[in-house]
Amino acid sequence: MNEVLVRIGPAPLHEQISELISQRIVAGDWPPHYKLPAEPQLAEQFEVSRGTIRRALKTLIDKGWLLQVQGKGTFVAASTTIEQPIAQEMLSLAEGLSRQGLAFTTEVLESGFVAPPERVAALMEVSARARVFRLLRRRSVGGAWVALLANYVRADLCPDIDSYDFEKQTLFGTLEESYGLRLEWARRTFEAQAASDDVARRLELAQGSPVLYLEQVSYLSDDTPVEYSDVWIRGDRLRISSLLKRSSRPEESPASQT
């Protein structure tokens, strides 16, 4: 395994090792309850010190990917699906994966200017005869496809957006950095679906397999809708989490005051 480490570069060795281990877990090479080799063996395999291995393992233990049992060793945790804090923060899938330190790849399946579907046109507040940029991508982690994304972007706000390479650049990053658009808020809805033939094929699932469907409309600071997306997520690979805070104590009902 040591041949894939970059010995001279910006990423510390322990971070690279954590990433490689997480990729093995996501790919299923190291399934839940799998017992990792002992620290001396890992250090020998990666040709690093035991201290570097300990730092790499601690990162994954802190993230909940690994579990250490005193006197027994280190095991892959029972639940190893990737968790995205996508419900409480306007965070793209790519940003969520990057925040967790997970390497991912993006494949562009289709892109170009189209007339928007009726629902998309209404939500984006454009004419059905307007041109919007449609981008269809799928994203993988550890060699496994985790999500299929179909995005529509208002072409009047993003001229020449079709010239960008979205296998190397993120959509939100391009909107903000290249066009100076301030993405302020979004409306998201979630729904459990059975994968259609097309979704199943692109995510390498059996047709009818359960997937999580997410619909989102993203708005600028002046409440102008700029982007619409359909996202299908493999529930066996990716999990959505939400932190909820009770903002204030609800008023007591009259009955509770008697």
Tell me: do 20 and 59 sit in the same domain.
yes
Tell me: do 181 and 98 sit in the same domain.
yes
Rg of the chain over all Cα atoms, to the nearest angstrom: 22
Torsion of CA 125, 154, 196, 93, to 10 degrees: -110
Tell me: do 91 and 218 sit in the same domain.
yes
> Does the residue 257 lie in any domain?
no
Q: Are 15 and 59 in contact (CB under 8 A)?
A: yes
Burial of residue 174 (number of CB atoms within 10 Å: 0-12, 13-18, 19+): middle
Q: How many domains are there within the chain?
A: 2
> Does the residue 245 lie in any domain?
no
Tell me: do 118 and 182 sit in the same domain.
yes
pTM for the model: 0.65
Tell me: do 170 and 50 sit in the same domain.
no
Residue 255: its pLDDT value, please? 47
> Does the residue 8 lie in any domain?
yes
Can you point out the beta strands (E) in the chain? 66-69, 73-76, 82-84, 104-114, 132-141, 144-154, 183-194, 210-220, 225-234, 238-240
Residue 236: its pLDDT value, please? 80
Mention every residue, 6+ apart, whose C-beta is less than 8 A from residue 42: 17, 36, 53
Task: Give the domain-ending residue among 57, 76, 95.
Answer: 76
CATH code of 35's domain = 1.10.10.10
Tell me: do 170 and 222 sit in the same domain.
yes
CATH code of 86's domain = 3.40.1410.10
Number of alpha carbons in the 13 Å side-chain half-sphere of residue 3: 0
Tell me: do 100 and 124 sit in the same domain.
yes
> Does the residue 254 lie in any domain?
no
Task: Give the domain-ending residue among 28, 46, 76.
Answer: 76
Three-state DSSP class for residue 102: coil
Tell me: do 42 and 90 sit in the same domain.
no
> Does the residue 248 lie in any domain?
no
Angle of CA points 211, 155, 216, to nearest 5°: 25
Structure tokens at 88: 């409480």
Tell me: do 27 and 151 sit in the same domain.
no
Tell me: do 72 and 86 sit in the same domain.
no
Spatial separation of the C-alpha atoms in residues 127 and 83, rounded to whole Å: 37
Residue 223: its pLDDT value, please? 86
CA 226 to chain centre: 21
Tell me: do 24 and 142 sit in the same domain.
no
Mention every residue, 6+ apart, whose C-beta is less than 8 A from residue 182: 176, 220, 221
> Does the residue 249 lie in any domain?
no
Tell me: do 235 and 132 sit in the same domain.
yes
Q: Are 175 and 227 in contact (CB under 8 A)?
A: yes
* Residues 34, 38, 39, 41, CA torsion sign: negative
Q: What is the domain extent for residue 37?
A: 2-76
The alpha-helical segments, DSSP class H, found in 102-250 are: 118-124, 171-177, 197-203
Task: Give the domain-ending residue among 47, 76, 105.
Answer: 76
Residue 120: its pLDDT value, please? 92
Enumerate long-range contacts of 29-35, CB under 8 Å, 24 or more apart.
Answer: 30/76, 31/76, 32/76, 32/77, 32/78, 32/79, 32/80, 33/75, 33/76, 33/78, 34/75, 34/76, 35/72, 35/73, 35/74, 35/75
> Does the residue 252 lie in any domain?
no
CA-wise closest residue to 40 among 91, 74, 76: 74
> Does the residue 251 lie in any domain?
no
One digit per residue, pLDDT tens: the chain, 258 residues?
Answer: 444 676 666 678 888 899 899 888 877 778 777 889 999 999 999 899 999 999 999 989 887 888 888 777 888 886 555 556 555 567 788 887 777 667 889 999 999 999 999 889 989 989 989 999 999 999 998 788 999 999 999 999 999 999 999 999 999 999 999 999 999 988 888 899 999 999 999 999 999 999 999 999 999 989 899 999 999 999 887 777 665 666 555 555 444 444
